[in-house]
Amino acid sequence: MLRATMSTIPLTLQSSQSLKHLFSLSHFQKPLIHSFNQPKKLTTFTRRLFSIKPISVSSPIRTYVDEKIDPTYLSCSMSHKNPLKVAVLVSGGVDSSVALRLLHAAGHSCTAFYLKIWFQEDFENFWSECPWEDDLKYAKAVCDQVDVPLEVVHLTDEYWNNVVSYIIEEYKCGRTPNPDVLCNTRIKFGAFMDAISGMEFDFVASGHYAKIVHASTDHLDEPSILELSKDMVKDQTYFLSHLSQAQLKRLIFPLGCIPKDEVRMLAKSFNLPNQDRKDSQGICFLGKIKFSEFVARHIGESEGVILEAESGDYLGNHRGFWFYTIGQRQGLRLPGGPWYVVEKDIKNNVVYVSRNYFSVDKKRRLFRVGSLKWLSGLPPRQISQLQCKVRHGPGFYNCSLAMEVDEHGQEVAVVRISEDDQGLAAGQFAAFYNGRTCIGSGVILESWDDQGYPICERALEIARMEDKSKLGKPVKIMVKPEQSFATI
């Protein structure tokens, strides 16, 4: 078990108005947020920082030797600047460790920070399943190689209030949120920046695959720009697309100029103790627990019916609509497929499915996006020849935007993409680009051109039935004709 000496640092709010909204969920305009418990005012909090004593790890650690590094590897580490005071977020993984070493090699004064974002004690948790102890051991070992101090910051309450609770509420409303975008905006570069605001750091750095271009000292009033990383597969600008300009101006991403395979090579050349660790997957606070199990614990289960969208046939039962997302195929357990979730009736707890999800007559090129955030602080002047990502990955669509105002007086973008997309899901983020520059993002409001997958009248009538036990047993699902023909 780790032992630490504890000091208490009072939390002071940022003076910048642009950061205050990060600690309230109200900036996600209705109808994205309905009933929601507001987080406690941060002025009532104190932030605990732990100074971790040296920890032994199984991997051998050699004394750091300041070897000559190819200058191209330092091109995203602001090596041309006078030595900077940099707060570096470390996770115990390879990426953040290499980022730390590059900043150190560039001559900057670094302090490493590990964010502790586990559950509140009021909620059942799975600490025994989370590998945080190993993460912290590796982070400490990496820091010890170059005598960089390591602090552990408690942001448990902030993470619960601003990320986990939001995820739960979105699932209750039938949407599919993206916790990674929220964690970056509200925790890593929100609550954490606030916690260290009195420590006079010049910049905050992390191991994200993205590139930031800051204005020159002669034009400091110009905005900082978020650009695609050199590694298009690992690029993480999608997850960073909802940051504010105030946040962007304070960030450094040393890995934005380096492909992933060369990051691994650098880890070996630095002889990092975690050089062979696999990249982390999933949401950190869950550890090995499946997200569906977490949802079941905190939302519960409520049996409902599964109906075929085209016929209204009763096909089976489900555990609750919040376990399913538009386009989902896994977990339906229906024969004669493949079946896909095409729509959800939140009021009546009904899941509609179809085997015609990829039908050409059901176009998916038009959708609406709300809760817009533009990285420059201003809406783009050009809205006709842009690119769009609707999920993390190297794929883009050409797109155009049409701006309108919704019934709540909030700006909404109507997005038209160049190709059909079968995986659009309300609650996910759409990030917009002008060439290699990420210009902002928003939350997808609807998934279909007509704001709803076409559901037959019989299915709608069954969904409105109060006593669905009268439906009897599910129908026997017939194999689709083309499948039957293919097996002859």
- Assign residue 126 the CATH number of its domain: 3.40.50.620
- Examine the domain organization and report whether 97 and 185 are in the same domain: yes
Given the residues 110, 183, 388, 438, select the one marked as catalytic. 183
Distance CA 437, CA 432 (A): 9
- Examine the domain organization and report whether 264 and 389 are in the same domain: no
pLDDT digits (tens, 9 = 90+) for 228-247: 999 999 999 999 999 999 99
pLDDT bin (cut points 50, 70, 90) of residue 481 is low
* DSSP 8-state class, residue 352: E
Tokens at 433, concatenated? 């680009």
- Examine the domain organization and report whether 345 and 473 are in the same domain: yes
Nearest CA among 287, 275, 279, 273 for reference residue 55: 273
Overall domain count for the chain: 3
Distance CA 195, CA 10 (A): 8
pLDDT digits (tens, 9 = 90+) for 406-457: 888 889 999 999 988 877 888 999 999 999 999 999 999 976 555 567 899 9
Question: Which pLDDT value is given to residue 4?
Answer: 34
- Kindly give, in sequence order, each residue whose CB lies less than 8 Å from that of residue 121, ignoring residues fewer than 6 positions away: none
pLDDT at position 2 over 50:
no
pLDDT bin (cut points 50, 70, 90) of residue 22 is very low
**Domain that residue 183 falls in:** 70-268
Catalytic-residue membership of 110: no
What number is the average pLDDT over the span 345-352?
94
Q: 341 or 51, which is more confident?
A: 341
pLDDT at position 26 over 50:
no
Question: Which pLDDT value is given to residue 450?
Answer: 54
Where a domain ends, among 268, 291, 323?
268
Task: Give me the chain's average pLDDT, please.
Answer: 80
pLDDT bin (cut points 50, 70, 90) of residue 360 is low
- Examine the domain organization and report whether 124 and 196 are in the same domain: yes
Question: Which pLDDT value is given to residue 420?
Answer: 82
- Examine the domain organization and report whether 393 and 466 are in the same domain: no
CATH at residue 413: 2.40.30.10
Residue 276: inside a domain, yes or no? Answer: no
Q: 382 or 313, which is more confident?
A: 313
pLDDT at position 47 over 60:
no
Q: 230 or 47, which is more confident?
A: 230
Residue 291: inside a domain, yes or no? Answer: no
Burial zone of 442 (CB within 10 Å; 0-12 exposed, 13-18 middle, 19+ buried): buried
Question: Which pLDDT value is given to residue 90?
Answer: 96
Question: Which pLDDT value is given to residue 64?
Answer: 36
Question: Which pLDDT value is given to residue 24?
Answer: 34
What number is the average pLDDT over the span 76-104?
94
pLDDT bin (cut points 50, 70, 90) of residue 130 is low
Q: 181 or 384, which is more confident?
A: 181
Overall residue count recorded for the chain in this entry: 488
Distance CA 247, CA 244 (A): 5
Tokens at 462, concatenated? 């069954």
Question: Which pLDDT value is given to residue 141?
Answer: 96
- Examine the domain organization and report whether 256 and 108 are in the same domain: yes
Residue 339: inside a domain, yes or no? Answer: yes
Distance CA 243, CA 254 (A): 18
Distance CA 229, CA 243 (A): 16
What number is the average pLDDT over the span 17-30?
32
Residue 187: inside a domain, yes or no? Answer: yes
Question: Which pLDDT value is given to residue 453?
Answer: 78
pLDDT digits (tens, 9 = 90+) for 281-308: 655 555 555 667 777 887 889 999 999 9
- Kindly give, in sequence order, each residue whose CB lies less than 8 Å from that of residue 275, ignoring residues fewer than 6 positions away: 59, 94, 264, 267, 268
Catalytic-residue membership of 183: yes
- Examine the domain organization and report whether 223 and 100 are in the same domain: yes
- Examine the domain organization and report whether 339 and 392 are in the same domain: no
pLDDT bin (cut points 50, 70, 90) of residue 151 is very high
Asked whether the beta carbons of 427 and 348 are under 8 A apart, the reply is no
Residue 451: inside a domain, yes or no? Answer: no
pLDDT at position 348 over 90:
yes
pLDDT at position 487 over 90:
no
- Examine the domain organization and report whether 168 and 192 are in the same domain: yes
Asked whether the beta carbons of 403 and 412 are under 8 A apart, the reply is yes
- Examine the domain organization and report whether 177 and 264 are in the same domain: yes
pLDDT digits (tens, 9 = 90+) for 369-378: 999 999 998 8
Given the residues 130, 143, 173, 284, select the one marked as catalytic. 284
- Examine the domain organization and report whether 99 and 195 are in the same domain: yes
pLDDT digits (tens, 9 = 90+) for 160-206: 889 888 888 888 888 888 889 999 999 999 999 999 999 999 999 99
pLDDT at position 51 over 50:
no
pTM for the whole structure: 0.79
- Examine the domain organization and report whether 398 and 472 are in the same domain: no
pLDDT bin (cut points 50, 70, 90) of residue 6 is very low
